[in-house]
Amino acid sequence: LRDKFDIVIDCTGSEFGFRRAVELVRPRGRIILKSTAAAAAEINLAPIVVNEISVIGSRCGRFQPALEALAAGKIDPRPLIDGRFALDDGIAGFEAAKNPLNFKVLLSAT
C-alpha cells in the first residue's frame, strides 16, 4: 500500500472492514468504528499496540425522532456545519475535517 491515512472510518460492521482499517491507518492514527458490529470478531491487537493506533467507537442514535425534528423545523443543523466542499475537492474537505475546531464538514456530489 502506498498511502496511509491519519483517520480511517470503518462503517462495514465486519471483521474484514476492521482488518482493512488497521492496514490503512498510519502509526498513531485513528480508526473510527461508525457502525454496529454484526458479529464477534477475532482481532490481532499487536499492530494497534505497536503502532499506537486509537480505536474510537461511534454508534448511531435513533434516526426517526431526529428526522421528524428536522422535518418539523425544530432543529437547525446549519450552525453545526463548518465547511462545504464539492466532491472534486474532497481532499481539502477531509483536511478541514481533521481540524478539531471544525464540528462538521460536508461533501457535496452536486
Domains and CATH numbers, the chain: 1-61 (3.40.50.720), 76-110 (no CATH)
pLDDT score for 93:
93
Mean pLDDT, the chain, rounded, equals: 89
Q: How far is residue 9's CA from residue 59's CA, in Å, rounded to a whole number?
A: 12
What residues are paired with 86 via a beta bridge?
Answer: 108
The 3-state DSSP class for residue 38 equals coil
pLDDT in tens, 33-78: 987 766 778 889 999 999 999 999 887 777 788 889 999 999 998 8
What is the pLDDT averaged over residues 81-109?
Answer: 91
pLDDT score for 86:
95
In Å, what is the CA distance from 62 to each residue of 58, 59, 91?
A: 13, 10, 30
Judged against a pLDDT cut of 90, whether residue 24 lies above it is answered with yes
Q: How far is residue 71's CA from residue 11's CA, in Å, rounded to a whole number?
A: 26
Q: In what order do the strands lie in the sheet with 54-57?
A: 5-10, 25-33, 54-57
Q: List alpha helices for the chain, DSSP H.
A: 15-24, 46-50, 63-71, 90-98
